[in-house]
Structure 1
């Protein structure tokens, strides 16, 4: 055997005896990976290694799935990780969204409809965490200490229902909640359009949007059931003379009873908590608008949250002042006015920082297009007590809050009780969920006061504005209200400061000052 052959065999033997080392297998969604945060691109698809429980798996981020010249990808069912950051940057919540699903494009183009989000941008909390050592919950007040009771005589729900609120005792409550059954009642009459499709074919996109939002926004188990008859049911009376209008301050006195007299025998209302009346698409808006319909006293029992809605693919959209309420965002907003209602948070609507400016255009219960406030999510059961940090105003403490519109079981709400009728609430805002259009200069710790003694319509929740800069009015009212890193506010002897921020949310310091 010559020397060259011997050398070759020696090298081959060496390679065969070398130990092997684990490497990431070709990335695909759900497959195992070895290091959190590692990214991989396979066949133009982007993946990131994330940890779920004790397992490391690839999560498809869809970062590379973009249309030419457009940011990111637009898959409506994708769940993103906060570790990759918040994408789809917009300059205002009312900006046109290139990723609007096809079924909403026509509505988005209507000049009378706000260009609020027509989808839910889903994020799950990744593995990034703050460096700050936060105060242990064992050193804080219990969540129960922050459960400020509502005033039973108030028409609106502003805090936790008290035992004296008889309407809650009999189960009317505020809906929709994480577990809810919605009964659709589709009707046609002499003055509506004639049915050409099934109710689900026409209104499924609305109810799917609502279901999608509820199930994503609920950090607790959720179940949303939407029930449709398979056809529109005939109603013998004209609908327009009932004058069902968004301007109704109280439920219509007779419409629900007249309607049930004709359709109750054709629908099983068992188990429903909400009733939504729809008419065929193309019906003129002045025939039936969005309006409260009150109790539906059915053969199967009483349902305390009934509503009409604007027709889909409506005719003459500019004829009425409130035509924009055909947007699915406004469906959710108006649904929360049913039953035991949530209030609007407009304040006096002057948006003057020297008056009662309320929440500006922040949160779902204003025109701004945002998500439900974390306080309201708590009182309605969208987050658990275990996600609430209740801080004593007299003690110094440090708190990490995950973004309130990101899916997680981590802490989301910081509550500081000031009295039995007033609390400070803090939540972290990032561009996720229904906040996905919010520009970066609006991210931070949204800080506000809930005062149940303020029972005037539009009052009761008020932003605590930053001290060291203007709160701003663009791109919407009081847009720059959230605190950013290094900033602070002081309210009734409590100083609130932001000491760390990131994709994970915000770290907040609470301390007593003279």
Structure 2
């Protein structure tokens, strides 16, 4: 979740479900490359033909261009972790312990998800920096008053400036003493500034404010760091504060829930970030049937460096598309509840938190992994071998035809009058 400093909230808050994920399923050795397994009937276009345009929506999932206000995570990025104590509490943990709560786990998550293209290199301070006011003076809450939040951020940068060279870092984590009486663990978020703050002559456009318990929620910084690189919240916040937060994507992406059993990023997000290239994305435009082989999105890079197909896209409108990918118990998805072919709709003009991605439930009358899944009705959303699903309102059907010995999936996609 995140907020805009000095303006209305950018999107709904990250839900705090605090559920334990169950470790299940065995790892599958996945080294498949993409092969056409039958004659292609439907014509495939250049992936650019299926790339939705970037819109003015906050964290738009349009990807025909990159928003230059954000660094792109396709290289090594340096972050700094600053630890803040308060006059009204003596810390019961050390900066080393709090840094270990999040790293190297967060870096490993992103490195696996990017197939090694993104390295997040964290630099934690070794000591506490004392804030000038008691923790209770900042009135820290999830829905934080802008005036108090501004006071906190300015004080934090003021005490850090003499010891941190901000020009060296692209990501800033401010970590509060979790045991201070005024610290609210639900307030962890990214704060965006309409006008950057400055330290060491460096513009700081956004800061990750961390108020987590020790130990913290799983994958919490993986989620928050995603916002730093222009990724949206994929969960749904009920307008009345009641109901379920995970109806859009369930367990299927860390930007939906850091507690998810299959938290690796959707293929569409990996395409947006530059981690999938044109050889790994198939754009289907013309009517007919296409047979292809999909490598699971969380599988490591193909043996020999070959780029197997990982994402299929069918454009359905100016700002919408259907995406198809394989999910398997490997990498960041090692604890997935089910494996198979996942189908979802992407809306490039939808704001963060408003449902820019929605997963289709191909088994609407069943659920799975109750007690472990963040949203059991979508835990069995993928198609299994031999199953077919027709996308509601579209002339598109997807069949999980087979699974190869290496763990890849043979998929038949039919569009137009034949669907």
TM range (shorter): 0.7 to 0.9
Residue 419 of structure 1: which of 283, 297, 317 is its match? 317
Alpha-carbon distance between aligned partners in 1 of 2:142 and 2:274, rounded to the nearest angstrom: 27
TM alignment of 1:46-445, pairs within 5 A: 113-116=18-21, 125-126=30-31, 132-133=37-38, 135=40, 140-152=44-56, 154-160=57-63, 162=65, 168-169=67-68, 171-173=69-71, 179-194=76-91, 197=94, 199-219=95-115, 221-248=117-144, 252-280=149-177, 282-284=179-181, 286=183, 289-295=187-193, 296-313=197-214, 326-338=216-228, 340-346=230-236, 357-367=247-257, 369=260, 370-408=263-301, 409-439=307-337, 442-445=338-341
Query: What is the CA–CA distance in structure 2 between the aligned matches of 1:124 and 1:183, rounded to whole Å?
Result: 36
Question: What are the superposed Cα offsets for residues 128-167 of structure 1, whole Å, 9 maximum, x if unpaired?
Answer: 9879347599x62112112212212x1233222647xxxx
Per-residue CA distance 1:462-491 (angstroms, 9 max, x = gap): 222327x62525432321111112211223
Cα distance in 2 for residues equivalent to 1:128 and 1:484: 20
Aligned to 1:228, the other structure's residue is in SS state strand
Please give the secondary structure, in 2, of the residue aligned with 1:126.
coil
Structure 2: distance between partners of 1:345 and 1:381: 23
Distance 1:221 1:372, change over 3 A: closer
State the distance in 1 between where 2:19 and 2:75 align: 26
Listed one character per residue, the Cα deviations across residues 19-76 of structure 1 (whole Å, up to 9, x for unaligned) are xxxxxxxxxxxxxxxxxxxxxxxxxxxxxxxxxxxxxxxxxxxxxxxxxxxxxxxxxx
Superposition deviation, residue 125 in structure 1: 2.6
The 3 A distance-change label for structure 1 pair 122 and 495 is closer
Shift of residue 425 of structure 1?
0.7
Shift of 1:211: 0.7
Aligned pairs (5 A) from 1:14-29:
none
User: Could you tell me how far 1:184 is from its partner in structure 2?
Assistant: 0.9
For residues 279 and 477 of structure 1, the distance between their equivalents in structure 2, rounded to whole angstroms, comes to: 36
Aligned to 2:379: 479
Which has the higher mean CA deviation after the structures are superposed, 290-299 or 179-188? Answer: 290-299
Aligned residues: 377
Aligned to 2:96, the other structure's residue is in SS state helix
**8 A contact 1:305–1:339 mirrored in 2:** no
Matches of 1:155 and 1:361 in 2, distance apart?
23
SS in 2 for 1:293: strand
Aligned to 1:505: 408
Q: Which has the larger radius of gyration?
A: 1
* 371-380 or 244-253: bigger deviation: 244-253
Q: Aligned-pair RMSD on alpha carbons?
A: 3.5
> 1:182, CA displacement in angstroms?
1.3
Counterpart-to-counterpart distance in 1, 2:45 and 2:237? 31
Q: TM-score, normalized by length of structure 2?
A: 0.78
Shift in Å, 1:281 = 5.4
SS in 2 for 1:257: helix
Deviations 1:432-455 (A, max 9, x none): 22322223xx21100011123444
Q: Which has the higher mean CA deviation after the structures are superposed, 387-396 or 290-299?
A: 290-299
Contact 1:466 1:482 in 2 (8 A): yes
Identify if the C-alpha distance between structure 1 residues 162 and 302 changes in structure 2 by more than 3 Å, giving closer, same or farther: same
Moved more, 241-250 or 448-457: 241-250
SS at match of 2:413: strand
> Structure 1 residue 494 and structure 2 residue 396: aligned?
yes
Contact 2:396 2:414 survives alignment (8 Å): yes
Normalised by the length of structure 1, the TM-score is 0.65
Aligned to 1:3: none
Q: Cα deviation per residue 1:280-329 (whole Å; 9 max; x = unaligned)?
A: 45445735641333344222422323112134537xxxxxxxxxxx2131
